[in-house]
Amino acid sequence: MSVTKIATRYAKSLLELASEQGKLEKVHEDMKMLQAAAHNADLKLFLKSPVIPADKKIAAFKAIFGPKMDELTLAYMNLLANKGREGYLQEISNEFVNQYKFLKKITSVKVTTAAPMTEDLFNDLRLKLTSSGVTTANLEIETAIDPSLIGGFVLEFDNKRYDASVSHKLEELKAQFSKNLYVKEF
């Protein structure tokens, strides 16, 4: 079975169970914490190791995450370990967060600018995005700074990218001039 199918199925089952038990928000927070923790190289190696038995991994989950997590999330982590799926924790937690956002109609937007945005500009951007109809009213906006853009911005959401940066416009001009359409040959 593909990693995507595994992640989708396990994430969906946890999402439904958390909804039924009224713990969706807490489990969502737990999964975001696991999503961040899963980037740790040592934890990845530990989870994917076939040499370490499931009971040792379960004990480690309890020691590391026990006091911070809901018992439903811990029970779910135990299930993953017992089924041999703990190595897919990063993919499952990513998929859970994506399914949660879809359920709650949250659009994630990433805006990259050359310099930090003012609060007024940030609020204007939020207003334009919500009023445009291309995003939901619930926006989760992540900002980043990339001085190589020179000016303007790059907007990314729903697997789309809108590049209105000065560096992009300069590249387009460079491409047009390299075609040399305006030189008359004799």
Is pLDDT of 185 > 70?
no
Choose the weakest-confidence range: 53-57, 101-105, 133-137: 133-137
Residue for token pair 């047009």:
176
CA angle 157, 24, 89 (to 5 degrees): 70
Q: 68, 102, 136 — which closes off a domain?
A: 102
Cα separation of 136 and 134, whole Å? 7
Convert 99-110 into a string of H (helix), E (strand) and C (coil): HHHHHCCEEEEE
Cα separation of 36 and 131, whole Å? 32
Q: Are 46 and 57 in contact (CB under 8 A)?
A: yes
Average pLDDT over residues 8-26: 96
Model confidence pTM above 0.85: no
What is the CATH number for 76? Answer: 1.10.520.20
Examine residue 138 and state whether it is found in any structural domain, yes or no: yes
Average pLDDT over residues 28-47: 92
Q: 102, 121, 141 — which closes off a domain?
A: 102
Is pLDDT of 133 > 90?
no
Domain of residue 50 covers: 3-102
Question: Which residues, in sequence order, are bridge partners of residue 108?
Answer: 140
Examine residue 184 and state whether it is found in any structural domain, yes or no: no
